[in-house]
Chains A and B, each alone.
Chain A
Amino acid sequence: MSKFTVTRRGALKTGAAAGAGLALPTIFTAGAARAFTNEPGASSVTLGFNVPQTGPYADEGADELRAYQLAVEHLNGEGDGGMLQTFSSKVLDGTGILGRKVEYVTGDTQTKSDAARASAKSMIEKDGAIMITGGSSSGVAVAVQGLCQEAGVIFMAGLTHSNDTTGKDKKANGFRHFFDAYMSGAALAPVLAKMYGNDRKAYHLTADYTWGWTQQESIQAATEALGWETVNNVLTPLAATDFSSYIAPVLNSGADVLILNHYGGNMVNSLTNAVQFGLRDKQVNGKNFEIVVPLYSRLMAKGAGENVKGIFGSTNWHWSLQDEGSQAFVKSFGTKYGFPPSQAAHTCYVQTLLYADAVTRANSFEPCAVVEALEGGDSSLPGIDSPSNKGYLFDGLGNGPTLYRAADHQCFKDVLVVKGKDNPTSEFDLLEVVEVTPVDQVWYEPDHPMFAGGDLGQCNNGA
């Protein structure tokens, strides 16, 4: 019995099937032994875009899908080429990947680990996808990353912010471009200290699941390092829709800052509730009461409406960035869809390009070769003196010079601190970039306690 030959569709499109049909004595042929899972045929290659299409993150998923479609167009030489022109690596020439036309299949993660794995499996087993990418939550990212490791395909994570994705749950076949909770804390804390002073008392509301905990841990460590005091950390159920009973006691706790370690619907509701309670009009300890949302996204900001005004947070990327790469991406995305891309769209687009680039540089679709290409050679980020500062260095995809670190497959780049805009000029203009925190401030070692315990393991080619 051949071992895990989940592939065949790709090969069928080539001559293999025709050959099987002609060989009369053996009508039944087993799928030919292949070097690795879903080795693509000569004419096309299939990528799997696994994004939430139903459930609360469906809009984010839709935006990710738009970015993927755009990336496929650009890789196949359609459209204006987007960031292909600004990307520091010039091996991609708009002829697909290694001369094969890029095709794609889509699936629905439903923002559930189970469903996401089922849909990724179907793309691998049925559609012959060679790479899976997407997702809008860390649970899903970790679950699908584990699957891809076992199946022997590459996973290019979409939006996932938990430390665990490239921490204790890191996998050799998985890569994350998005930033993480530690970086949020490290980038945000100095700005908060600058704006609100070093003598602050923080009250945390934290979504009671893995991402919430790592986010809270990160921001608490970063703010305490700057002299803040943590008054309390209250865990809130994921299913909570009304946060009033958690927010009401905050004012009387002696805290003068409320940190909302929430994402998505939780964040929209908790922030809305907090503003409803008039927290931001209050004075505590002789200071203005402030609210902080460590992880921001434009869609969440849109959901919370006016309530985001003046509230600080961090984000991976924002369309108002003025660098060449970001501008090129915003232009082609905006021209095609009529509105600027979200950070989720950006990271997904970039991940697709990075994958294509790595395959081209490796001159092979073999996962281990791709992993090697993404881990780069010995290039390193300037200005950081660390033995782990090694990996694949690139530029021109927004965020400035970026390192795909070999040690944990995490991207290191500048992190944006943003603030809800006071006078938005359009429905997309909700956040303004307050500071671009340079990469050396958010750098950490792979064995940092918040990331320890995992093991990349060996890359897996599958078959």
Chain B
Amino acid sequence: MLGLDKKDATILLVVIALALLAPFLLNPFPSNSGLAQFNAGYPDLMQRFVIFGIFAIGFNILFGLTGYLSFGHAAFLGVGSYSAVWMFKLLSMNVLPAILLSIVIAGLFSVLIGYVSLRRSGIYFSILTLAFAQMSFNLAYSVLTPITNGETGLQLTLDDPRVLGQTATASGNIPATNVFGLEMRSTYTMDVGAWSFDFNAGYYLCAIIMILAFYLSLRIFRSPFGLMLRAVKSNQQRLNYTGLNPKPYTLAAFIISGMYAGLAGGLLASMDPLAGAERMQWTASGEVVLMTILGGAGTLIGPVLGAGFIKYFENIFSKINDNVLHQWFSFLPEGMEDTLVFLLHPFVGKGWHLTLGILFMLVVTFLPGGLVEGGQRLSRLFRRRSRDTDTTPDPEHHPKESPHVAE
């Protein structure tokens, strides 16, 4: 199917199913139950899941395949966002030209930074990309304020020209981002008994683009180009002496991942037309590194999982306050309730960073392959369990099969 072998087609189908059914999957709890706190199926967060998923998928093409660790990819995301918002300000509120421009501009930017940074490798490459990104961030926050609107972030105003659109709506508001009239913020809410699910136009646009981006990365992984990238990571010397020039391969990977980042930035701005400079900061670049490694670098689906994991923490855990904790444990005797709240207090709400840090350490220490490895171990465990229960011994000797590309 679609030029994929059976295994890859299955992976793709799983991703499509996850993306399209996300409104159901992410809202498993009735909306007025205490656990509704853990529901993540509201438009903004769902959009963030897939957008950062795209970002991480792109980053994985560079880092996962070639092993070049860029600490500056947030700059491309930021540049993409700025381009998109400028498109909204100057041209029209249709998101498609904005997204196209953000990909192009981010691509150009990555040609420039990639060309220079790729003259070095290893940590020297990382520091070069970091330096470029930090320069972009610092300038965007201060000197470049006329272009970036600095601290506040670039936003739409009621006197933007918008050549191909309206400057303001009839009711005197800034028009909403749309695809040929379908507003990105329009949401259909479905109530099923105590549950309720949101179907948001913007989310589905992002989800479709994410599926396309995932499909493209799947093809890249399986292509000769992807193989060359893995060869770059494995042994550049051999590659050189096999008559292949690693430079254009790595540069192409860098540009592709930069364009993915630009796409993510453009989508972010399309869902919420404000581009803050912070999204270019080194911590933001670090975040995508964390997402990729946490999920499983070099695996196909890992980066998406990692992105979801971190965004979930940032948005859900940070909102659990003492008040919520007290509500949860109100069924317990007072003393126990207070003790539990006291014990949990440092880890939720304003302590979400602490929990995240501890989880990083645990995952990296015990699951070097990231969440994907965790999943594999779990499934192996279950398989072994089921094998243990049926008494026929497994006569077949399974030689350690090398992963083609781990999924």
The interface of chain A, by Cβ under 8 A from chain B, is 1-6, 8-9, 12-13, 17, 20-21, 27-31, 53-54, 58, 61-62, 65, 69, 104-108, 112-115, 117-119, 121-123, 125-126, 137-139, 142-143, 146-147, 149-150, 164, 169, 208-211, 235, 237-239, 455, 457-458, 460
Contacts and interface: CB of A to CB of B under 8 A. Distances in A.
Contact of A118 (B141, B142, B171, B315): B315
A2 B349 contact: no
Contacts of B171: 458, 460
A258 to B, nearest CB: 21
Q: Which of B48, B189, B190 has the most CB of A within 10 A?
A: B189
Contacts, number: 187
Interface in B99-141: 138, 141
Contacts of A125: 42-44, 198
Contacts of A9: 31-32, 196
B303 interface: no
A106 B350 CA distance: 10
Nearest to B81: A114
A127 to B, nearest CB: 8
B312 to A, nearest CB: 11
B192 A28 contact: yes
A53 B318 contact: yes
A32 B266 CA distance: 32
17 contacts: A1-B186, A4-B183, A12-B32, A30-B190, A54-B352, A112-B278, A113-B278, A114-B153, A114-B276, A115-B314, A117-B274, A118-B315, A209-B142, A210-B151, A457-B172, A458-B171, A458-B172
B323 interface: yes
Contacts of B166: none
Contact of B185 (A4, A20, A107): A4
Nearest to B318: A108
A54 B153 contact: no
A146 B190 contact: no
Contact of B321 (A106, A146, A209, A237): A106
Nearest to B189: A31
Contacts of A164: 152
A30 B188 CA distance: 7
B172 A209 contact: no
Contacts of B189: 2, 5, 8, 30-31
B152 A8 contact: no
B186 A150 contact: no
A20 B278 CA distance: 44
B274 A104 contact: no
A265 to B, nearest CB: 15
Given A12-B32, A12-B191, A142-B152, A457 B196 contact: no
A458 B173 contact: yes
Contact of B352 (A108, A143, A211): A108
A6 B45 CA distance: 13
A150 B204 CA distance: 21
B176 A150 contact: yes
Contacts of B314: 115, 118
Contacts of A147: 272, 274
A8 B191 contact: yes
Given A138-B152, A238-B141, A28 B190 contact: yes
Contacts of B279: 114
Contacts of B274: 113-114, 117, 143, 146-147
B236 interface: no
Interface string B149-185: 1111101111100000000100111101000001101
B152 A143 contact: yes
Given A114-B153, A119-B315, A1 B278 contact: no
B201 interface: yes
Interface residues of B, number: 60
A209 B141 CA distance: 6
Contacts of A113: 151-153, 274, 276-278
A112 B277 CA distance: 9
- Closest 5 pairs between A and B when the two form their complex, measured CB to CB: A458-B172, A53-B350, A113-B276, A139-B151, A31-B189
A215 B137 CA distance: 22
Nearest to A146: B155
A125 B171 CA distance: 22
B2 interface: no
B319 A106 contact: yes
A115 B318 CA distance: 11
B196 A107 contact: no
Given A29-B191, A107-B318, A457-B173, A239 B138 contact: yes
A455 B272 contact: no
A122 B42 contact: yes
Contacts of A2: 186-189
A6 B348 CA distance: 26
A5 B278 CA distance: 30
A122 B186 CA distance: 15
Nearest to B197: A28
A17 B190 CA distance: 11
B191 A118 contact: no
B152 A3 contact: no
A27 B152 CA distance: 44
A104 B43 CA distance: 20
Contacts of B48: 118
A118 B43 CA distance: 11
Contact of B319 (A62, A117, A119, A455): A119
A432 to B, nearest CB: 31
B1 interface: no
B151 A138 contact: yes
Nearest to A7: B189
B138 A118 contact: no
B315 A62 contact: no
B141 A106 contact: no
Contacts of B183: 3-4
Contacts of B138: 237, 239
Q: Which of A4, A21, A126 has the most CB of B within 10 A?
A: A126
A54 B142 contact: no
Contacts of B276: 112-114, 117, 139, 143
A28 B153 contact: no
A1 B318 contact: no
Contact of B174 (A6, A61, A150, A211): A150
Given A28-B192, A138-B151, A108 B350 contact: yes
B353 interface: yes
Nearest to A48: B319
A128 B193 CA distance: 18
B188 A8 contact: no
A74 to B, nearest CB: 16
B194 interface: yes
A139 B277 CA distance: 10
Contact of A122 (B44, B142, B168): B44
Contacts of B323: 69, 104, 106
A5 B32 CA distance: 18
B142 to A, nearest CB: 4
A461 to B, nearest CB: 9
B42 A31 contact: no
Contacts of B318: 53-54, 107-108, 119
